[in-house]
Amino acid sequence: MQTMSLRLMLEVAPDVRETLVKNLFWIDRGITGVELSGDVPPVLTVTCTDDSDADEIEAQVLADVTKMVAQAATVCPRTVYETQPCHGEPLAADEVCRRLEERGWLSMELSGSHVYAGLMAELYYGLDRAFGRRARGLGAQEVHLPSLLGADTLVTSGYLHGNAHMGNYVFHLHEDRSAVARFTEKCVTDTGGIDLSGLETSADVPEAVLSPAACQPVYRMLAGRTVATPFVTTGYVRCYRYESGATHGLRRSREFGVREIVYVGTERGAADFRAQLIGVAREFLDRFELWGSLVTASDPFFTDTSADYRVYQLALELKHEVQLGLGGDRVAAASVNQHGDHFGRAWDIRAGNTNERAHSCCMGFGIDRWCLAVFSQFGFDVRSWPRALREVVGV
Amino acid sequence: MQTMSLRLMLEVAPDVRETLVKNLFWIDRGITGVELSGDVPPVLTVTCTDDSDADEIEAQVLADVTKMVAQAATVCPRTVYETQPCHGEPLAADEVCRRLEERGWLSMELSGSHVYAGLMAELYYGLDRAFGRRARGLGAQEVHLPSLLGADTLVTSGYLHGNAHMGNYVFHLHEDRSAVARFTEKCVTDTGGIDLSGLETSADVPEAVLSPAACQPVYRMLAGRTVATPFVTTGYVRCYRYESGATHGLRRSREFGVREIVYVGTERGAADFRAQLIGVAREFLDRFELWGSLVTASDPFFTDTSADYRVYQLALELKHEVQLGLGGDRVAAASVNQHGDHFGRAWDIRAGNTNERAHSCCMGFGIDRWCLAVFSQFGFDVRSWPRALREVVGV
């Protein structure tokens, strides 16, 4: 194992820290760890396997950091709202997971995928109900969204153009029963995993991608249609992102649950609804007495390919994020997104009486991360939780 | 396109019809359609592409049909309970889907994956709540189950040995940012799909498989543990099976929702709990005034590799299935499964005071198929539904 440490000379904007760490993993498969310390200015530590070309990696890391930090300095997130009720110091995310595991409430199925039990499961389902109820209060109709999306859905919407690396691609074995009959003998490895290299599969042309963002199939459903009155829906769905070496516990899972609210209508209607959604974000911070903030934000971006989009999103305040406090840290747990007519154009959706190109906005609650923050801030004894959270779990 | 028709000389047991059709697709990738008529004895029609070797396929089809039908004749399912309330003739599944689509309540995202809206979505969520409430009435604690399972989980449990062909395997692109940066130019095809053949990916050694059966991760969670008191849980999860050419609308989806109840405990405890679950199956047939039956059944089996298991399951009555009437047809919508100590052995789980090998049983409700049957039997106007179903959707 080789390790390189770099003390950066510039501060790294808080919203860029995670993106920076995630992107560095994509320089080379040999990179096994990337850490950015909390110091000002921070120390960056990159670990890679012995057979990696450390000099080449170091040069790339330096080039990347320089580019990203410089670009990020041009525009900064703005804090719109902040809450800091006094409940003592939140527990760090790793410590929350350790204590949940100790109680049998959290169990890892595979890196980034977990089983929840006990109070963790009750809180998870309860929060989804609470968010769903609030969505219906805004006039949203229930929809059920699938996780298995057509690859063409994510090409048409533009998602894969900048985010192919986060995709979880789905394939199947090609029809050939002699191969299937010999599966155990041919494909089960000594370590109990599987190796399909001898089989014909659809992996080169995967027909499906696991939903990386809950709202994607809604626009496809409306393709070519005119929504005379606003189409306002809410649904629950599990989403999936491959996060490479940055995958970590409940803080950054590969599979996570989302309660989504989607609005499709006129430009004016979408702007008004977006304002309501921002209100909902503030409301939940207050109602649950959580330590957190509402800030303008940008989507994770991939080195140069979509870094400009961050500036665009921040400058126009197209994305707001609810961030919840963990011990010495915070986690993005919900976002409100203004899409303009992006999806209206991609899917030829029109709206209103004048048949204008449809505009849309959405809000997604990352339920697992709300759970993480609740345990971090209020502990494991439900009787000491704020009243609104006790109600969520029916206590 | 080439077509071959065979009038079979033997009847095909009802529980073998679907398995037969599904298995025939696996003879050759060139097979594009398999249909088994409702006549007695039935006519089997197989369609294949022009460049297929039709003689070879016909020989294989004949050999398969002979083997499966003969073997299936040795033991038959037994009907345990039947309901046939008088609500008129149920609509055929295809007609239900057509009318749901017409109303905007059903929209295909990709073959086997759908968005639900309107009454379809309300019924879907409502049924899950109803099944979940009943499960808690049996003392089940809520769990949340993931869909992304480790390939090793399904190897250890034995699932992949007989069912590798039904797997939805998940992979990601290997870390290489030049490939990602050129994704759009290299991998997006003219038809708007993707072709990853030029990229390095984890497809040969996929790290995850989408959950084919909800209860699988529960046993892994309990691996090596002793459950002193019975471990009784209920959870909701989306499950996934690749059904090749047999994929069809809501009747046979690639992605579907399951409300699961799992019991892990002593042999005696599991037997008693299984009896309660069979009672729950009867109860829902009655409560919802559905036309259906409870029958002994077997898991789908793959030609020769696991056909013996059908005889074993049926002879020992290890599996019960709730089948709901559709127009001239029926669909399996729930099952109760007695596992013996299969998972206790696979995962080294022990139970009770005497530390015996744990036994388990489970019940899974295929929520999407309950929805299909409700619309088939009661139509699209909620006001004419039985009272218990109106309550499910809050009307």
Find out whether B330 and B370 touch, Cβ atoms under 8 Å. Answer: no
pLDDT above 80 (res B86): no
**What tens digit of pLDDT does each residue of B351-360 get?**
998 889 999 9
Interface touch A115/B144, C-beta < 8 Å: yes
Total Cβ atoms within 10 A of residue B383? 6
Of B142, B171, B195, the CB nearest to A125: B142
Co-location of A347 and A326 in the same domain:
yes
**What tens digit of pLDDT does each residue of B149-190 get?**
999 999 999 999 889 999 999 999 999 888 888 888 899 998
Mean pLDDT: which of A185-194, A294-303, B13-22 is highest? Answer: A185-194
Give A57's pLDDT tier (boundaries 50, 70, 90): very high
The domain of B190 spans 172-205
Q: What is the mean pLDDT of chain A?
A: 92
Whole-model pTM? 0.93
pLDDT above 70 (res A290): yes
Question: CA dist B48 to B5, B24, B30, B245, B374, Å?
Answer: 12, 11, 5, 11, 35
Co-location of B231 and B161 in the same domain:
yes
Give, to the nearest 10 degrees, the angle between helix A54-72 and helix A303-316: 20
Q: Check if A333 contacts B (Cβ < 8 Å).
A: no
Co-location of A247 and A342 in the same domain:
yes
Q: Check if B175 contacts A (Cβ < 8 Å).
A: yes
Total Cβ atoms within 10 A of residue B108? 18
A101: closest chain B residue by CA: B221
pLDDT above 70 (res A261): yes
How far apart (Å, rounded) are the C-alpha atoms in residues B70 and B20?
12
CATH at A270: 3.30.930.10
Q: Which amino acid is at B318?
A: L
Query: What DSSP state is assigned to residue B9?
Result: S
Cα A177 to chain centroid, rounded: 39
pLDDT above 70 (res B191): yes
Q: What is the mean pLDDT of chain B?
A: 92
Could you say which residues from 346 to 385 on chain B have a Cβ atom under 8 Å away from some Cβ of chain A? none
CATH at B27: 3.30.70
Interface touch A175/B255, C-beta < 8 Å: no
List beta partners, residue B48.
B2, B31
Find out whether B88 and B327 touch, Cβ atoms under 8 Å. Answer: no
Q: Check if B312 contacts A (Cβ < 8 Å).
A: no
Question: Which residue, among A204, A53, A163, A220, has the nearest Cα to B180 in the 3D structure?
Answer: A163
Q: Find all residues with CB under 8 Å of B39, minimum gap 6, and list them.
A: none
pLDDT above 80 (res A179): yes
Of A112, A148, A305, the CB nearest to B113: A148
Interface touch B147/A143, C-beta < 8 Å: no
Give B305's pLDDT tier (boundaries 50, 70, 90): low
Q: Check if A394 contacts B (Cβ < 8 Å).
A: no
**What tens digit of pLDDT does each residue of B49-65 get?**
999 999 999 998 888 88
- SS3 assignment, position B315: helix
Interface touch B197/A204, C-beta < 8 Å: yes
Strand A231-240 to B359-366 pairing:
unpaired
CA diameter of chain B: 65
Co-location of A28 and A141 in the same domain:
no
Co-location of B84 and B97 in the same domain:
yes
Co-location of B259 and B364 in the same domain:
yes
Q: Check if B117 contacts A (Cβ < 8 Å).
A: yes
Q: What is the mean pLDDT of residues B202-216?
A: 96
Find out whether B278 and B296 touch, Cβ atoms under 8 Å. Answer: no
Interface touch A175/B31, C-beta < 8 Å: yes
Domains identified in chain A, total number: 3
**What tens digit of pLDDT does each residue of A62-101 get?**
888 887 777 777 778 899 999 988 778 899 999 999 999 9
Single residue among B42, B72, B102 that ends a domain in this structure:
B72
Q: In Å, how far is A81's CA from the nearest CA of chain B?
A: 32
Q: Check if B193 contacts A (Cβ < 8 Å).
A: yes
Which long-range contacts link A313-321 to residues 24+ away (Cβ below 8 Å)?
A314/A75, A314/A76, A314/A77, A315/A75, A317/A78, A320/A80, A320/A278, A320/A281, A320/A294, A320/A295, A320/A296, A321/A294, A321/A295, A321/A296, A321/A297
- SS3 assignment, position B395: coil
Single residue among B56, B72, B88 that ends a domain in this structure:
B72
Q: Check if A193 contacts B (Cβ < 8 Å).
A: yes
How far apart (Å, rounded) are the C-alpha atoms in residues A136 and A126?
15
Give A238's pLDDT tier (boundaries 50, 70, 90): very high
| Residue B87: per-residue pLDDT | 75
pLDDT above 80 (res B90): yes
Co-location of A144 and A190 in the same domain:
no
Could you say which residues from 53 to 72 on chain B have a Cβ atom under 8 Å away from some Cβ of chain A? none
Interface touch B146/A303, C-beta < 8 Å: no
Higher-pLDDT residue of B240 and A18 is B240
Co-location of B292 and B350 in the same domain:
yes
Single residue among B16, B49, B72 that ends a domain in this structure:
B72
Q: Check if B28 contacts A (Cβ < 8 Å).
A: yes
Interface touch B196/A27, C-beta < 8 Å: no
Q: In Å, how far is B375's CA from the nearest CA of chain A?
A: 17
Total Cβ atoms within 10 A of residue B118? 16
Question: What percentage of chain A exceeds 90 in pLDDT?
Answer: 73
| Residue B41: per-residue pLDDT | 82
Q: In Å, how far is B284's CA from the nearest CA of chain A?
A: 23
pLDDT above 60 (res A224): yes
Co-location of A154 and A294 in the same domain:
yes
Co-location of B26 and B143 in the same domain:
no
Which long-range contacts link A39-42 to residues 24+ away (Cβ below 8 Å)?
A40/A11, A41/A7, A41/A8, A41/A9, A41/A10, A41/A11, A41/A12, A42/A7, A42/A8, A42/A11, A42/A12
**What tens digit of pLDDT does each residue of A300-314 get?**
666 555 567 777 777
| Residue B327: per-residue pLDDT | 86
- SS3 assignment, position A60: helix
Q: Which amino acid is at A276?
A: Q
**What tens digit of pLDDT does each residue of B310-351 get?**
777 777 788 999 999 998 889 999 999 999 999 999 999 999
Query: What DSSP state is assigned to residue B248?
Result: B
| Residue B302: per-residue pLDDT | 62
Interface touch A161/B175, C-beta < 8 Å: no
Co-location of B114 and B55 in the same domain:
no
pLDDT above 90 (res A177): no
Q: Check if B144 contacts A (Cβ < 8 Å).
A: yes
| Residue A301: per-residue pLDDT | 66
Co-location of A246 and A353 in the same domain:
yes
Q: Tell me: ipTM over 0.95.
A: no
Q: What is the mean pLDDT of residues A333-345?
A: 95
Interface touch A149/B181, C-beta < 8 Å: no
Give B217's pLDDT tier (boundaries 50, 70, 90): very high
Of A112, A160, A197, the CB nearest to B194: A160
Higher-pLDDT residue of A395 and B241 is B241
Of B25, B161, B181, the CB nearest to A305: B181
Q: In Å, how far is B103's CA from the nearest CA of chain A?
A: 13
- Least trusted range by pLDDT, from A3-7, A355-359, B91-95: A3-7
Total Cβ atoms within 10 A of residue B361? 26
